[in-house]
Chains A and B, each alone.
Chain A
Amino acid sequence: MPDMAHPRPYALHTTLEGHGRAVCAVKFSPDGSLLASASADKILRVWSTTDFSLRAELSGHDEGVSDLSFSSDGRYLCSASDDRTVRIWDLAAAAAPVKTLTGHTNYVFCCSYNPHSNMIASGSFDETVRVWEVKSGKCLRVLPAHSEPVTAVDFSRDGSLIVSSSYDGLSRVWDSGNGHCIKTLIDDDSPPVSFAKFSPNGKFILAATLDSTLRLWNFSAGKFLKTYTGHVNSKFSIPATFSITNGNYVVSGSEDNCVYMWDLQTRKIAQKLEGHTDGVVAVSCHPSENMIASGALGNDKTVKIWVQKNEDQLED
């Protein structure tokens, strides 16, 4: 595979199979011991990151699952599904769905725990963002967030802000305590924003738009600071993330079946990870190790694990 400026390139380590349909989301747990993947086959799979064995299969959703999020202690998982519900799963106790959060009137597309894990935010095709109380399952707020499906929600590092993005071309920042809109990020042309998330320190927002561009915004100034291009993203909502374990990079999937890595500061493509046989629509970076997980669409249906190359770690 093409090796760019990056000194030790990532290479394919394992391929995890088992999903019956496209993989829609992959996430590492906050302590890095587990990897969860969600699929259009309505099931979530939880894998161990040490030996990549399957630890649990969570079923209960009535339709495909689009997104998932771990609680901060890694014990609970919440998942967003086309069956209009968000479900909370307890991984420590028989992996049964503990709670079902209902209220959205259309597909729930994205979900996220807040850092204190007492609230969950979810975005839906019904154009609203809902904030739920974990303990009782009550819907605390319904934010009239957008005028098109909400594609992503994320909490800032201290939990006080929520960012939401939508196909209406806007990213909005909300106060999570009282539900008020604080800022709207909009560019001159407003291509649908397919993903948004906060930087680790909560000062910047990484937003992906369906014109194959990723932008890093300083949201309090309302201006973007960096642009990352070179990948293909015009149809699907592909998440992007920061890789901070060995230098600062931006990692994203792409519809040309590769995983792209850009250097955060120089914006150059550091590496393209090839291997999937369909568009890569899910990526996640391990919190402490140099490991990336990616999931792909229906022709591929696998989750691939990439690690920084060491002779003994390469899989043939």
Chain B
Amino acid sequence: MNATIVDPLQGDFPEVIEEYLQHGNMKCIAFNRRGTLLAAGCADGSCVIWDFETRGVAKELRDKDCIAPITSVCWSKYGHYILASATDKSLTLWNVLNGKKITRITLQQTTLHACLHPGSCTPSLCLACPLSSAPILVDLNNGSSTVLPVTVSDTGNGTTAASHPRNKFSDGSPPFTPTAATFNKYGDLIYLGNSKGEILIVDSKNIRVNAVIPIPGGSVVKDIVFSRNGQYLLTNSNDRVIRVYDNLLPKKGAAKELEMMSGTDDKLFEIEKLKEIGTKCLHLSREFQDVVTKIQWKAPCFSGDGEWVIGASASKGEHKLYIWDRAGHLVKILEGPKEALIDLAWHPIRPLVVSVSVAGVVYIWAKDYTENWSAFAPDFKELEENEEYIEREDEFDLMPESEKVKELDINQDEEVDILTVEKDSAFSDSDASQDELCFLPAIPLPDVPEQQDKCLGSSLKLEDSNHTGSPFSVEAAQNGQTILPASSPFEVVGNSTPEEAAGTAGMKRKRKPSAKGMELQEEKGRKPQKKVKSTGKSSKSKNKNGDGIDTNGSVLDDDVTDEYL
């Protein structure tokens, strides 16, 4: 997306539903790092990868072992792997490019939310937040897991959690209500939000709690999310408040910094020390709540640049999105169809939001576009309201000499650089040496056989042009047409109508074409299912066949007849 073109005056947040995607019953979504691909986990255990540019399905990840509904999907940093957690207590790691399952691990409990370590491009570690116990760090290579500490007890025992083979708690305490957890930007620290309303910062290597930040109100933390640049953290608590914190630790080497702060002071009053360190790590900057209706929030997250916070209403049957700016003002409430929302994601770069409804449909929200007329003609100037035009005294005087003077104020001798490409500032930490998977190769699906009859005659060997040339294919086309007079024009025409549902089984797509496109369609198009009428009315038409093409089997050359003109 060309960053210089986005209008900064219009708030950078979406306003209307632009489109919806439907393919199976989707439950959870995740964008890849550049927002070019959208992964969606489905109720049948498969994952669908959408090419977000074309809004078409790029790949499906299927395996006969994975049949349970997916609860969360997560991309690896450079887009080569996807981790999916499902209701049958499993975690599956997929290779995106070849669509094959790499490994599958079964845990003790169903994971609600799993994420891959964000620091490496071939992650073997992942963080899993189960349904009703403490979050665990799972090593995908050998399936071993480490339970993370969720509380700091006063005696200090809970801080040092030795790794145990399976989900055993070191101090034997009863399981907790679901605890939210997330990696920081480079994965060296894990931020946990526990049921006592505290944020714990845990070092992901040695599993030590290094800081504690109590949240005002002390209610159960349901979600904890970082912004993309790692600068801001938000928590969603049971007291219906979303809190935004500034991350005071440096982005790189945060764990080291924290270690230094912990130091080697006395072991007494450990919890106080942790809290003190905590104040140096996070600083509460904003609280968002709906004071009037006091709704619970669901799936809150940041915009790609961290400037906006979006949260969905968790009220029954509602599909409402609330958008705040970082100063704390509520800027927009988006209302969707009457289907409850189950997941939400903001595009990493563009002002686009994607929401999943309980019906398994993904809605894409985007800015409402107002036509920029000055783009069509450089000397158009758009006015906000009517202006009275007062002409100059000499406006209509004939001044032949001055009219002919054309100022060439362009210095044509200046050097022009056609080769240098500017670095994309939105991805400051992209390492050129790492191979990022941004796109899946688009393999064109072959056309249906009826059309192939027309396309005979290609060869690999050196042949006379007479032999392989057009007369042959024209003949074939004619044959094709006389055999299937009614159906073949439809086949060919159906291909082009943007509004039609795609031919592949089970896939439905609705698309709202641009306004101009709609007009063009209405002017010329009719539903392709109807009988094609004879063409040739437009005077602007450069159609060499003119009027009167009758499609009922009479063939004029080999033309593909269509209904648009």
- Do residues B516 and A144 form an inter-chain contact, with CB atoms below 8 A? yes
Name the contact of B513 in the complex, choosing from A101, A141, A203 (C-beta under 8 A): A141
Chain A residues whose CB sits within 8 angstroms of the CB of B51 once the complex forms:
118, 135
Q: Would you call B372 an interface residue if the criterion is a C-beta within 8 Å of the partner chain's C-beta atoms?
A: yes
Which residues of A are found within 8 Å of B456, using beta-carbon distances? Answer: 60
The residue in chain B whose Cβ has the minimal distance to the Cβ of A180 is B369
List A contacts of B36 (CB < 8 A): 116
In chain A, what residue has the closest Cβ to B457? A59
Report which of B58, B420, B442, B498 forms a contact with A140, defined as CB distance below 8 A.
B498
Question: Given the interface contacts A57-B459, A204-B418, A222-B378, does A118 sit within 8 Å of B439 by beta carbon?
Answer: yes
- B498:A184 contact, CB within 8 angstroms: no
Residues on B with beta carbons closer than 8 Å to the beta carbon of A204: 416, 418
Q: Is B4 positioned at the interface, with any CB of A under 8 Å from its CB?
A: yes
Q: Which of B416, B420, B443 contacts A135 (CB 8 A)?
A: B443
CB of A142 within 8 A of CB of B498, answer: yes
Report how far A62 CA is from B454 CA in the complex, Å. 9
Q: A200 at the A/B interface (Cβ < 8 Å)?
A: yes
Question: A62-B474, A117-B441, A267-B412 known; A105 and B565 CB under 8 Å?
Answer: yes
Residue pair B442, A135 in contact (C-beta under 8 Å): yes
Closest chain A CB from B460 CB (angstroms):
5
The answer for the CA separation of A175 and B366 in the assembled complex, in Å, is: 15
- In the complex, whether B514 has a CB less than 8 A from a CB of chain A is yes
Which residue of the partner chain B has the closest CB to A266? Answer: B413
Residues of B within 8 A of A179 (CB): 514, 517
One of A28-36, A91-99, A275-283, A292-300 at the interface: A91-99
A177 interface residue (CB < 8 Å to B) = yes
Residues of A within 8 A of B524 (CB): 105
- Bound CA span A182–B516, Å: 15
Interface of A is mostly: loop
- Chain A minimum-CB-distance residue to B503: A136
Task: State which of B414, B455, B458, B468 has its C-beta within 8 Å of the C-beta of A100.
Answer: B455
Enumerate chain B residues within 8 angstroms of A59, measured Cβ to Cβ.
457-459, 468-470, 472-473
- Chain A residues whose C-beta falls within 8 Å of the C-beta of B415 in the assembled complex: 265
Binding-face segment, A2-10, A224-232, A308-316? A224-232
- Contact partners of B559 in chain A: CB under 8 A: 62, 83-84
Contacts A60-B457, A99-B444, A102-B493 given; does A264 touch B53 at CB 8 Å: no
Q: Is B295 an interface residue (CB 8 A)?
A: no
CB nearest to A113 among chain B residues? B442
Closest chain-A Cβ to B516's Cβ sits at a distance in Å of: 4
B533 → A minimal CB distance (Å): 14
Is B119 interfacial (CB 8 A cutoff)?
no
Contact partners of B477 in chain A: CB under 8 A: 62
Q: Which A73-117 residues have a C-beta within 8 angstroms of B?
A: 73, 76, 83-85, 87-90, 94-103, 105-107, 116-117
Contact between B517 and A135, CB atoms less than 8 A apart: no
CB distance from B378 to the nearest CB of A (A): 5
Residues of A within 8 A of B376 (CB): 172, 181, 184
Question: Counting CB contacts under 8 A, is B438 at the interface?
Answer: yes
**B517 near A142 (CB under 8 angstroms)?**
yes
Interface of B is mostly: loop
**Given A97-B455, A105-B565, CB of A62 within 8 Å of CB of B470:** yes
Min Cβ gap A184→B in Å is: 6
Q: Which of A20, A88, A157 contacts B421 (CB 8 A)?
A: A157
Q: CB of A41 within 8 A of chain B? A: yes
Q: Given that A141-B513, A248-B419 are known contacts, is A42 also in contact with B412, CB under 8 Å in the complex? A: no
Contact-residue size bin, chain A (C-beta under 8 Å from the other chain): 35 or more
> Is A99 in contact with B446, judged by CB distance below 8 angstroms?
yes
Whether A288 is near chain B, meaning CB under 8 Å from some CB there, is no
Residues B444 and A42 in contact, CB atoms below 8 Å apart: no
Q: Is B262 an interface residue (CB 8 A)?
A: no
The answer to whether the Cβ of B339 comes within 8 Å of any Cβ in the partner chain is no
B529 within 8 A of A: no
Query: At the interface, yes or no: A58 with Cβ under 8 Å from chain B?
Result: yes
Q: Are A137 and B495 in contact (CB under 8 A)?
A: yes
Which A residues between 231 and 252 are near B, CB-CB below 8 angstroms?
A: 242, 244, 248
Known: A59-B470, A62-B558, A186-B378. A116 touches B439 (CB 8 A): yes
Expressed in whole angstroms, the Cα–Cα distance for A185 and B375 within the complex equals 9
A135 touches B498 (CB 8 A): no
Distance A175 CA – B557 CA, assembled complex (angstroms): 38
List which B447-461 residues lie within 8 A (CB) of chain A.
Answer: 447, 451-452, 454-460
Cα A158 to Cα B472 with chains together (Å) = 41
Per-residue CB proximity of B422-440 to A under 8 Å, as 1/0?
1000000000000000110
Which of B414, B421, B474, B541 is the one whose CB lies under 8 Å from A225? B414
Cross-chain contact B418 with A144 (CB below 8 angstroms): no
CB–CB B420/A201 < 8 A: yes
A135 and B454 within 8 A (CB): no
**Chain B residues positioned under 8 Å from A73 (CB to CB):** 441
Option from A87, A101, A142, A177 in Cβ contact (under 8 Å) with B520: A142
**How far apart sit A102 and B463, CA to CA, in the bound complex (Å)?**
28
A123-143 at interface with B (beta carbon < 8 Å): 125-126, 128, 133-143
Q: Is A163 an interface residue (CB 8 A)?
A: no
Complex: A89 Cα to B378 Cα, angstroms: 39
Q: Does the CB pair B418–A199 fall under 8 Å? A: yes
A69 to B513, CA, bound (A): 26
- Tell whether, in the assembled complex, residue B517 and residue A178 are in contact, meaning their CB atoms are under 8 Å apart: no
- Please tell me if B206 contacts chain A, counting CB pairs below 8 Å: no
Chain B residues with CB under 8 Å of A222's CB are: 378
B54 interface contact, C-beta 8 A: yes
CB-CB under 8 A from A244, the residues of chain B are 418-419
Q: Which of B511-565 contact A (CB under 8 A)?
A: 511, 513-514, 516-517, 520-521, 524, 541-543, 557-560, 562, 564-565
Report the minimum CB–CB distance from B28 to chain A (whole Å). 24
- Report 6 cross-chain contacts, Cβ distance below 8 Å, ordered by A residue: A57-B468, A60-B455, A62-B454, A117-B441, A135-B444, A200-B418
- Chain A interface residues (CB < 8 Å from chain B): 18-20, 41-43, 54-62, 73, 76, 83-85, 87-90, 94-103, 105-107, 116-119, 125-126, 128, 133-144, 149, 157-161, 172, 175-186, 188, 199-204, 216, 220, 222-227, 242, 244, 248, 264-267
What 5 A-B pairs are tightest by C-beta distance, nearest first? A103-B496, A199-B418, A118-B442, A60-B455, A144-B516
Name 6 extra pairs, CB < 8 A, besides A83-B558, A224-B410.
A60-B454, A106-B565, A137-B444, A143-B516, A175-B5, A180-B371
